[in-house]
Amino acid sequence: MAKSTKGTKSTTTAKKSFYEVVFTGKPKVVRAYLAGLSDGSGQDATIFFSFQDGVFHEGKAERLSELLHVRALDCHVIVDADTSRRLKKVARKLLEETGLEITANKHIRSASLVFGFEAFAKRYNDEIVEVLRNLPVGLRIDGFQHDVKLDPSAKGVEAYAPTHDYEAKGTGIVVGRVDLLIELKRKLRDFPLVKSDEIELNLA
């Protein structure tokens, strides 16, 4: 049986915004600077590093150039709105004080994550579907395709055999707030049967 839904879970995006800030400089220097900025402000800051959390930030050619040291290393970071504003204020003196340069500071309209899974036991399928059906407010699934096939004649075959008595497949795109999407991607790592692409950002 197969079914397709557009927007498996209808939600209202929570009022919280994020920005992608691009630094030219070494990631460890960026990390140290942002930690100091957050501590100095006395406010909680949300900070994600794209290379750590599987957020797409450039093409393969640019990554190869960085590995070959053809151009300066870029560090893409996702921050909350308050941190973005503080970075805009210090951008001019940042290069002189730290050697870092901010080359972009753009609002993230939304983010998306393409996923797919294949399970040969009902309990694994149910565990994955449960996670997808209980997304937090701020995320939704678009174009969810879920197909389950039952073949009683294959009952008892070995797990590595080409034929199974139960086979479930699913694909879709989760869309919404980038911080929630990063948390979801981390959660999906606990499910080896789920494969997900890098998170794509929709920038202003």
Helix (H) or strand (E) holding 142: strand 139-150
- Bridging pattern class, strands 101-119 and 18-24: antiparallel
pLDDT for residue 14: 47
Global confidence as pTM:
0.82
Nearest to 7 by CA among 198, 99, 135: 135
Written as six digits, the tokens of 151 are 């073949």
Nearest to 128 by CA among 115, 138, 143: 115
pLDDT for residue 151: 80
pLDDT for residue 43: 79
The residue ranges of the chain whose pLDDT is under 50 are 1-14, 61
Residue type at 196? S
Nearest-angstrom CA–CA distance, 17 and 22? 17
pLDDT for residue 6: 45
Written as six digits, the tokens of 146 are 């879920």
pLDDT for residue 71: 53
pLDDT for residue 98: 92
Q: What are phi and psi of 191, to 5 degrees?
A: -115, 95
Question: How many CB atoms within 10 Å of residue 109?
Answer: 12
pLDDT for residue 160: 54
Nearest-angstrom CA–CA distance, 66 and 101? 16
